[in-house]
């Protein structure tokens, strides 16, 4: 490696004057328009260890990507910068800081899980959500451990992690030699001792890691396990830490306040109140079903009388208080014994009605499809159906509807 990686031991440096060592046109797929720039030192952490590379500029030239390839740290830039040129590197420090908060929170949680259960971290990445303008909306840390942990134990781990944050213990990275590394007990996904970098949260965790780290646990601010579920024999945990945990808390608090208002309940009693409301809703639904049944029975009697009394082949029946299922039931129950077309109009809304019309299948000579066409022409109707049943809506006043069917 030709480059001094400043972030390895000091992640708080966000500007650096570096000298360009080499600058070559890239032939990496997707980067054909870019130059690969290697500098004598850098504050740009490459993509790796479950997170994306730092974002920023060389002077006013944006850095498109940073990768460690074949032991060299390569910056991808759209402009050529000649070897020997001095450049001012600047990184987006607020983005790095939020990533460090979430990443170090993951170290802390994993360290505590490892100490209590002996489980290892077998997967980790930072999931970022961006706004339309490319700015960062939120970060979540997603991590897998290789053993099961109960909800109660996770709560305890989460509390211990937040106590560790409040203790303001130092966080730092060391680059031990292979010989030194053998004497240190640390967590690692890979069995490496060469070019080892260890991130230490004093008293809580020692872990092989390549990403920039905070200076102290207090900078993590807060950690919350927002989701967890069994995954491949172990657990997948989603964490929010630092500013992202605070933003999440504020959003949930606002949501909770609105819910409290809707449910007319005190803080911390929403679930209880929602449960009570749910029971009431089930009871009300049962009552509604029973009332609807009674209404249908009454309407059926009335409709039967209407059918008997009216000479016309078209029985037009207005029933504002029923729904589509009831309208269909009324028609199905009456067309069997009737030689007439029954049209039920329901769900009045201003001058619009929904309708269902049906007839006995033995009643030939009247086409319901044709009727639907005439209704479209004369009553602003929409909809259609089969020869036995049509449905849709009409937008027309009641007198005109009656006149139309009288004229058929």
Q: What is the closest distance, in whole angstroms, from the C-beta atom of residue 196 to Zn ion in the complex?
A: 13
Closest distance to Zn ion from the beta carbon of 98 (Å): 15
> Closest distance between Zn ion and the C-beta of residue 228, in Å?
19
Nearer to Zn ion, 141 or 322 (CB): 141
Neighbours of 122 (CB within 10 A): 15
Closer to Zn ion by Cβ: residue 196 or 209: 209
DSSP for 15-54, please give it.
EEEEEEEEEEE--STT-TT-EEEEESEE--PPSBTTBPPP
Q: 399: which 2 tokens?
A: 């007198």
Q: Which residue is nearest to Zn ion (CB)?
A: 209
Q: Which of residues 67 and 380 has its CB atom nearest to Zn ion in the complex?
A: 67
Instruction: Tell whether the torsion through CA atoms of 238, 241, 247 and 251 is positive or negative.
Output: positive
Of the pair 209, 356, the CB lying nearest Zn ion is at 209
- CB 104 → Zn ion: shortest distance, Å? 8
d(CA 232, CA 223) in angstroms, rounded, equals: 24
Pairing of strands 61-69, 72-77: antiparallel
Distance CA 290, CA 311 (A): 34
Query: Could you tell me if 89 and 43 are in contact, meaning their C-beta atoms sit under 8 angstroms apart?
Result: yes
Q: Which is nearer to Zn ion, 187 or 359 (CB)?
A: 187
Half-sphere exposure of residue 367, counting CA atoms within 13 Å on the CB side? 5
For Zn ion, the closer CB: 201 or 379: 201
Q: How far is the CB of 192 from Zn ion (least distance, A)?
A: 14
∠ CA 166-170-173 to the nearest 5 degrees?
140
- Provide the binding-site residues for Zn ion, judged by CB under 5 A: 209
Q: How far is the CB of 107 from Zn ion (least distance, A)?
A: 6
């Amino acid at each position: 490696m030709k480059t001094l990686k400043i972030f390895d031991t000091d992640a708080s440096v966000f500007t650096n004057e570096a000298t360009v060592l080499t600058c070559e046109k890239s032939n990496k797929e997707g980067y054909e328009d870019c130059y690969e720039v290697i500098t004598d030192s850098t504050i740009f952490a490459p993509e790796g260890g479950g997170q994306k590379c730092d974002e920023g500029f060389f002077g006013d030239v944006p850095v498109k990507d940073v990768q460690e390839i074949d032991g060299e740290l390569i910056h991808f830039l759209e402009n050529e910068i000649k070897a020997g040129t001095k450049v001012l590197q600047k990184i987006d420090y607020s983005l790095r800081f939020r990533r460090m908060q979430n990443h170090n929170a993951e170290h802390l949680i994993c360290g505590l899980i490892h100490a209590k259960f002996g489980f290892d971290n077998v997967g980790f990445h930072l999931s970022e959500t961006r706004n339309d303008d490319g700015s960062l909306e939120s970060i979540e840390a997603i991590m897998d451990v290789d053993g099961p942990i109960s909800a109660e134990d996770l709560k305890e781990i989460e509390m211990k992690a937040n106590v560790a944050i409040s203790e303001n213990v130092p966080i730092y990275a060391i680059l031990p030699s292979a010989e030194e590394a053998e004497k240190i007990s640390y967590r690692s996904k890979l069995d490496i001792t060469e070019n080892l970098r260890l991130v230490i949260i004093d008293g809580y965790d020692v872990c092989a890691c390549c990403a920039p780290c905070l200076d102290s646990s207090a900078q993590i601010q807060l950690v919350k396990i927002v989701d967890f579920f069994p995954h491949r024999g172990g657990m997948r945990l989603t964490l929010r830490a630092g500013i992202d945990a605070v933003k999440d808390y504020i959003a949930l608090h606002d949501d909770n306040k609105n819910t409290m208002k809707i449910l007319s309940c005190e803080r911390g009693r929403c679930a209880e109140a929602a449960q009570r409301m749910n029971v009431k809703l089930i009871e009300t639904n049962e009552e509604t079903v029973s009332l609807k049944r009674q209404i249908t029975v009454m309407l059926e009697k009335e409709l039967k009388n209407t059918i008997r009394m009216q000479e016309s082949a078209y029985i037009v029946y207005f029933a504002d208080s029923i729904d589509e299922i009831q309208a269909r039931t009324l028609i199905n129950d009456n067309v069997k014994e009737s030689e007439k077309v029954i049209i039920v109009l329901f769900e009045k809304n201003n001058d619009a009605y929904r309708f269902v019309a049906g007839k006995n299948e033995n009643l030939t000579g009247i086409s319901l499809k044709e009727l639907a066409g005439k209704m479209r022409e004369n009553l602003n109707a929409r909809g259609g159906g089969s020869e036995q049943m049509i449905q849709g809506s009409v937008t027309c006043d009641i007198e005109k509807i009656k006149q139309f069917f009288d004229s058929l």
